[in-house]
């Protein structure tokens, strides 16, 4: 049994996913199939003895889709097409929309004018202009239908040949019916005038419907363009080459030529190519990609290193233990792919009902025509009944075209996303907003989310008669020559205070303990407790333990004779974090913190920030599993993080929230990005989700209400009582009005306060 995930070409609506999924499930040898429209992927489990991937592709090719069988993730954006192809497609769609919009505006103008003439508000259009429009509209409609509306014609074709119907099918049938009806009454006006009403053509209906729907498709495609960039960014973290020792010589080889057991040399500021174990040398390694922690970790012989992490200082040699798909980075990539490719729990309401809506409307239209021809003939005669029947048939298909339904969600999303951007909240797609207001649990990373993400000097404990500034000046002077990241925190503090630094002589790094240097005639020592013990000086260990338990790193300054001070360096809590968590609690949300940091630091930070629950010393896989566990308990989970290590959890969460101050991978894996790394924006994002979803529901209500009332009216259900029969002209105008009303309601969201 083989379970594989494939990219799909040709998907352009959510209903397509359902068609492909049902087709796969009916194929012999396939045990399960899950198609995701958001990522345009299909996860299929099948028996390789009965069916192959190529066979699956052939099954859907007649329907206009195909599988991408090559496995080259570096070429893909996560949407089933290369980035070049997707950008080209988007550009072509934009050109079509821009070419059709003026035609639609002109058609709406004529429809409105015609309607106002019938009500006696405006005078009739001069005959010469009527004749001109009589010839112009067919040309405009032909271009829009056969060029801009080509996908909908294909949807109509697939329905006729394979019986596969989606929302595009209805659009295709309605617009084709309006076009053909108009063509017939225009071309054969004289002979048909004795049998049916030939006064009106409905080319304008074809133009308006297709243009509005295509505009919605363009906006949707543009928002989806960056869906799969996370994988591409993760791949870019990997080193392209490795300096391998072969036959006693250092040889630079492509990463794919590295094998287990190879000895690899890593220079200062170099990227570690694969996973392995140090055999010679030592250095400080930036492992923030894996742990999320900003502090580089000291590695020596026997310690493990991870591919994709950065060497910050010394040179060393390590033995490759995991290469290719076995590395931790490859594992993270796989987890992100699987989480992104899983099927979204919530789909757009319009797409959910399409499988029922389309055939019902079609049946209703044909039934209406049949009723008019059978019963109507008895009372009105065949000519009148045929005329009314054709008008009803076209009107039903036109008024049922889901333009308002198609615009209900994207217009509200566009406004909501725009409003969010002004507030510093970047939202990737509609599904994210749809889920955010239902969130019950917020999971946060520590570093860069709750804390600032970089070490800084918190305080100095004086143990001598020197002032804070004097002590800081000495510390900064010594740390200036150090490569340790804590040195930057000390130097930054001195720079902020504009302190002058001393000349340091006889500088020496003391491996694993600290450093020493002379200022004037005094030799100073800076380091940890081990260094102080070597100097045979005494220090209050309980004081050190207390500060360490609070997540602070103590830096001890001493001379050969006495301990002068303890500088405390830590990753400080963001000022806005406490308030944000308090607001989340007011919204009834549980807040959980996951961190790769030690338990003492995590416990102190969580207590200070007011967090409900904390899980420390976790790896990327642990974070992912905890998210899955919470989801299994029935909770809707939002995950906020900023590191590569957070990417799998961000992708798995119902709503992923990235700090813009974090990595590109985290940002691309998340559905929401908070600018400036401000977690307080999360509260506004939740409120934005609520008002946007309220607007969408209002839009959908009016769109459905319009169809519920409009379809029976178009069918002539009220004709026996009131002689009401909806003309396709008014059906088209009503369709346009319903779209305008939906857009107008969406624009109201701009005035709402968060």
Ramachandran bin of 324, using left for φ above 0, alpha for ψ from -120 to 50, beta for the remaining angles: left
Burial label, 379 (beta-carbon count in 10 A; 0-12, 13-18, 19+): exposed
- Expressed in percent and rounded to 5, the helix, strand and coil fractions of the chain are 55, 20, 25
pLDDT score of 76 more than 50: no
Taking only the tens place, the pLDDT of each residue in 452-471 is 877 889 899 998 889 999 99
Strand partners of residue 35: 42
Closest to 686 (Cα-Cα) out of 671, 698, 703: 671
Instruction: Please state, in angstroms and rounded to a whole number, the distance separating the CA atoms of residues 584 and 373.
Output: 63
Tokens of 384: 């009148």
Mean per-residue pLDDT for 59-81?
A: 61
Confidence of residue 314 (pLDDT cuts 50, 70, 90): confident
Confidence (pLDDT) at 344: 37
Q: CB within 8 A of 131, min separation 6: which ones?
A: none
Q: Give the rounded distance of the alpha carbon of 259 from its chain centre.
A: 36
What global pTM score does this model have? 0.55
Taking only the tens place, the pLDDT of each residue in 266-289 is 999 899 999 999 999 999 998 776
Instruction: Please state, in angstroms and rounded to a whole number, the distance separating the CA atoms of residues 217 and 206.
Output: 17
In terms of DSSP bridges, do strands 249-254 and 505-510 run parallel, antiparallel, or are they unpaired? Answer: unpaired
b/e map 253-272, b = 16+ CB within 10 Å: bebeebeeebbbbbeeebbb
Instruction: Please state, in angstroms and rounded to a whole number, the distance separating the CA atoms of residues 166 and 421.
Output: 33
DSSP string, 92-151: HHHHHHHHHHHHHHHHHHHHHHHHHHHTTSSPPPPHHHHHHHHHHHHHHHHHIIIIITHH
- The percent of residues in the chain predicted with pLDDT above 90, rounded, is 20
Least confident of 40-49, 214-223, 576-585: 214-223
**CA 227 vs CA 139, 222, 688: distances in Å:** 38, 10, 21
Cα dihedral: 514, 518, 519, 524 (round 10): 40
Confidence (pLDDT) at 494: 92
**CA 400 vs CA 172, 253, 570: distances in Å:** 12, 63, 63
pLDDT score of 153 more than 60: yes
Q: List phi, psi (to 5°) of 679.
A: -70, -20
> Which residue carries 């005035």 as its tokens?
751
Confidence of residue 98 (pLDDT cuts 50, 70, 90): very high
Q: Which residues are catalytic?
A: 445
Strand order from edge to edge, sheet including 249-254? 249-254, 241-246, 263-266, 316-322, 275-281, 304-305
Most confident of 97-101, 155-159, 484-488: 97-101
Taking only the tens place, the pLDDT of each residue in 675-714 is 666 788 888 888 888 898 888 888 878 877 877 888 888 8
Confidence (pLDDT) at 232: 63
The pairs formed by 323-331 with CB atoms below 8 angstroms and a separation of 24 or more are 323/258, 323/259, 323/260, 323/274, 323/275, 324/256, 326/275, 327/274, 327/275, 328/275, 328/290, 328/620, 329/234, 329/237, 329/238, 329/289, 331/621
Tokens of 209: 């419907």
Confidence (pLDDT) at 519: 92
Most confident of 430-439, 565-574, 666-675: 565-574
Instruction: Please state, in angstroms and rounded to a whole number, the distance separating the CA atoms of residues 607 and 32.
Output: 46
Confidence of residue 408 (pLDDT cuts 50, 70, 90): confident
List alpha helices for 238-292, DSSP H: 288-291
Mean per-residue pLDDT for 313-341?
A: 77
Q: List phi, psi (to 5°) of 48.
A: -65, -20
The DSSP element (H or E) to which 22 belongs, if any, is helix 14-25
Confidence (pLDDT) at 74: 39
- The percent of residues in the chain predicted with pLDDT above 70, rounded, is 82
Least confident of 167-171, 321-325, 477-481, 661-665: 661-665
Instruction: Please state, in angstroms and rounded to a whole number, the distance separating the CA atoms of residues 665 and 236.
Output: 10
Confidence (pLDDT) at 612: 92
Instruction: Please state, in angstroms and rounded to a whole number, the distance separating the CA atoms of residues 663 and 237.
Output: 11
Confidence (pLDDT) at 440: 94
Confidence of residue 245 (pLDDT cuts 50, 70, 90): very high
Taking only the tens place, the pLDDT of each residue in 513-544 is 889 999 988 999 998 888 888 898 988 888 88
> Which residue carries 């419907």 as its tokens?
209
CB atoms within 10 A of CB 427: 25
Confidence of residue 80 (pLDDT cuts 50, 70, 90): very low
* CB of 69 closer than 8 Å to CB of 57: yes
Instruction: Please state, in angstroms and rounded to a whole number, the distance separating the CA atoms of residues 516 and 510.
Output: 7
Ramachandran bin of 676, using left for φ above 0, alpha for ψ from -120 to 50, beta for the remaining angles: left
Instruction: Please state, in angstroms and rounded to a whole number, the distance separating the CA atoms of residues 424 and 411.
Output: 20
In the chain, count of helices (H) and strands (E)?
28, 26
The DSSP element (H or E) to which 434 belongs, if any, is helix 430-436
3-state secondary structure of 605: helix
Confidence (pLDDT) at 681: 85
pLDDT score of 489 more than 60: yes
Mean per-residue pLDDT for 731-744?
A: 70
Confidence of residue 674 (pLDDT cuts 50, 70, 90): confident
Least confident of 216-220, 250-254, 433-437, 631-635: 216-220
Closest to 630 (Cα-Cα) out of 597, 658, 653: 653
Confidence (pLDDT) at 251: 93
**CA 434 vs CA 157, 276, 355, 416: distances in Å:** 33, 43, 22, 11
pLDDT score of 630 more than 90: yes
Roughly how many angstroms between the first and final C-alpha of the chain, as a whole number? 51
CB atoms within 10 A of CB 15: 26
Instruction: Please state, in angstroms and rounded to a whole number, the distance separating the CA atoms of residues 552 and 569.
Output: 6
Taking only the tens place, the pLDDT of each residue in 369-385 is 899 888 888 888 777 78
* CB of 700 closer than 8 Å to CB of 709: no
Q: CB within 8 A of 313, min separation 6: which ones?
A: 268, 283, 284, 296, 483
CB atoms within 10 A of CB 275: 23
DSSP string, 332-389: HHHHHHHHHHSPPS---HHHHHHHHHHHHHHHHHHHHHHHIIIIIHHHH-HHHHHHHH
Least confident of 32-36, 72-76, 381-385, 576-580: 72-76
Instruction: Please state, in angstroms and rounded to a whole number, the distance separating the CA atoms of residues 147 and 95.
Output: 11
pLDDT score of 442 more than 90: yes
Tokens of 397: 């298909």
* CB of 301 closer than 8 Å to CB of 278: yes
Mean per-residue pLDDT for 499-506?
A: 91
Tokens of 644: 């590569």
pLDDT score of 236 more than 80: no
Tokens of 324: 């290719």
Tell me the Cα Rg of the chain: 34
Instruction: Please state, in angstroms and rounded to a whole number, the distance separating the CA atoms of residues 432 and 656.
Output: 8
């Amino acid at each position: 049994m083989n379970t594989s995930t494939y990219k799909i070409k040709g998907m352009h609506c959510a209903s397509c996913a359902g068609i492909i999924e049902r087709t796969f499930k009916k194929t012999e040898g396939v045990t399960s199939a899950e198609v995701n429209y958001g990522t345009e992927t299909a996860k299929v489990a099948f028996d390789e003895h009965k069916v192959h991937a190529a066979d699956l592709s052939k099954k859907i090719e007649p329907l206009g889709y195909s599988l991408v069988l090559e496995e080259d993730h570096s070429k893909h954006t996560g949407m089933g097409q290369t980035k070049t192809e997707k950008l080209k497609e988007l550009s072509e769609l934009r050109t079509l929309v821009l070419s059709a919009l003026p035609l639609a505006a002109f058609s709406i103008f004529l429809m409105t004018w015609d309607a106002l003439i019938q009500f006696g508000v405006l005078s009739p259009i001069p005959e010469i202009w009527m004749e001109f429009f009589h010839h112009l509209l067919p040309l405009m409609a032909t271009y829009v239908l056969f060029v801009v509306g080509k996908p909908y014609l294909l949807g109509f074709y697939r329905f006729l040949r394979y019986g596969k119907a989606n929302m595009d099918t209805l659009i295709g049938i309605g617009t084709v019916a309006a076009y053909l009806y108009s063509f017939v009454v225009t071309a054969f006006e004289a002979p048909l005038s004795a049998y049916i009403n030939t006064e009106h053509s409905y080319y304008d209906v074809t133009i308006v419907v297709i243009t509005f729907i295509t505009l919605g498709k363009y906006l949707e495609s543009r928002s989806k363009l960056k869906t799969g960039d996370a994988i591409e960014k993760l791949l870019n973290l990997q080193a392209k080459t490795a300096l391998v020792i072969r036959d006693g010589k250092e040889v630079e080889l492509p990463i794919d030529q590295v094998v287990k057991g190879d000895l690899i040399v890593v220079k200062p500021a170099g990227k570690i190519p694969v996973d392995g174990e140090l055999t010679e040398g030592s250095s400080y390694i930036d492992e923030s990609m894996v742990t999320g922690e900003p502090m580089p970790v000291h590695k020596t012989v026997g310690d493990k290193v991870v591919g994709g992490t950065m060497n910050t200082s010394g040179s060393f040699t390590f033995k490759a233990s995991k290469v290719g798909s076995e590395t931790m980075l490859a594992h993270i990539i796989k987890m992100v792919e699987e989480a992104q490719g899983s099927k979204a729990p919530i789909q757009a309401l319009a797409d959910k009902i399409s499988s029922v809506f389309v055939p019902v409307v079609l049946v209703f239209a044909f039934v209406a025509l049949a009723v008019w021809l059978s019963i109507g003939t008895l009372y009105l005669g065949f000519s009148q009944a045929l005329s009314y029947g054709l008008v009803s048939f076209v009107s039903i298909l036109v008024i049922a075209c889901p333009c308002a339904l198609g615009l209900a969600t994207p217009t509200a999303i566009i406004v909501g996303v725009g409003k969010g951007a002004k507030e510093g909240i970047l939202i990737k797609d509609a599904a994210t907003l749809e889920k955010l207001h239902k969130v019950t649990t917020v999971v946060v990373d520590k570093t860069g989310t709750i804390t600032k993400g970089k070490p800084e000097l918190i305080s100095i404990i004086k143990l001598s008669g020197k002032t804070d500034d004097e002590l800081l000046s000495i510390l900064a002077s010594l740390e200036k020559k150090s490569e340790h990241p804590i040195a930057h925190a000390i130097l930054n503090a001195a720079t902020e205070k504009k302190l002058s630094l001393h000349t340091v002589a006889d500088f020496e790094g003391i491996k694993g303990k600290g450093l020493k240097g002379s200022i004037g005639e005094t030799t100073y020592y800076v380091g940890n407790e081990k260094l102080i013990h070597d100097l045979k000086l005494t220090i209050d260990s309980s004081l050190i333990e207390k500060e360490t338990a609070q997540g602070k790193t103590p830096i001890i300054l001493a001379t050969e004779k006495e301990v002068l001070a303890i500088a405390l360096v830590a990753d400080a809590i963001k000022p806005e974090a406490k308030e944000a968590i308090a607001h989340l609690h007011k919204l009834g949300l549980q807040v959980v913190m996951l961190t790769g940091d030690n338990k003492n630091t995590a416990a102190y930070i969580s207590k200070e920030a007011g967090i409900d629950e904390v899980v420390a010393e976790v790896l990327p896989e642990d974070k992912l599993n905890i998210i899955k566990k919470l989801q299994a308990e029935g909770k809707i989970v939002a995950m906020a993080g900023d590191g590569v290590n957070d990417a799998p959890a961000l992708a798995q969460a119902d709503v992923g929230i990235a700090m813009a101050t974090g990595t590109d991978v985290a940002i691309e894996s998340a559905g929401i990005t908070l600018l400036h790394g401000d977690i307080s924006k999360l509260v506004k994002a939740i409120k934005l989700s609520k008002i946007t979803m309220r607007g969408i529901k209002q839009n959908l209500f009016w769109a459905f209400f319009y169809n519920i009332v409009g379809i029976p009216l178009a069918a002539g259900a009220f004709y026996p009582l009131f002689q009401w029969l909806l003309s396709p002209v008014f059906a088209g105008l009503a369709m346009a009005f319903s779209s305008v009303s939906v857009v107008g309601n969406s624009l109201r969201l701009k005035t709402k306060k968060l």
